[in-house]
Amino acid sequence: MIEHHFPVTVYYKDVDQMGIVYYTRYLEYFEMARTECLRSIGLSVTDLEGKGLYLPVSECSLRYHRGARFEDRLDVCSQIATVPRARLTIDYTVTDGAGQTLVTGRTIHAIVNKKGKPIRAPKILLDAIETHLTGEQI
């Protein structure tokens, strides 16, 4: 399992009139978290795109257990459990400072070229993920 932790602080921009984080904002947190998760295993999204490799979200799902509030400090844990074939799957768990789970979610990414046509997961992507999956298992 590749696992990466990303800290997020909740600001006014994130909070709705119920006083809790608006439901779309977690998908922004997920995007930030996975960008840094990929970077942590040597994959810069900018570099991947420069090489003609894009990872648009093809599916996502979220479960909202508890609401986060303004100035809360959250942790977004990203997990990659498998080497992608046609698609890359990433799971997320958002917890608050007390370790309570607030939101869980998943994004599934297509692997496409600049024109949006599906391509086989390239070696650079496979190698980075395989190396880090294997590394942990040893």
Q: Which of 1, 7, 23, 100 binds its own copies (CB under 8 A)?
A: 23
* Only segment of 18-26, 78-86, 88-96, 117-125 that touches its own copies (CB under 8 A): 18-26
The answer to the question of residue 97 lying near its own copies (CB under 8 A) is: no
Dihedral sign of CA atoms 52, 55, 56, 59 in order: positive
Cβ proximity to its own copies: between 11 and 82 the closer is: 11
- In the complex with its own copies, the residue whose CB is nearer, 56 or 99, is 56
**Catalytic residue flag (residue 47):** no
Instruction: Select from 5, 40, 60, 121 the one that contacts its own copies (CB under 8 A).
Output: 60
Buried b (16+ CB within 10 A) or exposed e, 87-126: ebebbbbbbbeeeeebbbbebebbbbeeeeeeeebeeebe
Side chain identity at residue 53, one-letter code: L
Stretch that binds its own copies, among 62-70, 94-102, 118-126, 130-138 (CB under 8 A): 62-70
Please report where in the chains the tokens 């696992």 appear, as a residue: 3
Q: Are 118 and 112 in contact (CB under 8 A)?
A: yes
Size of the site for its own copies (CB under 8 A): 36
Residues forming the active site = 16
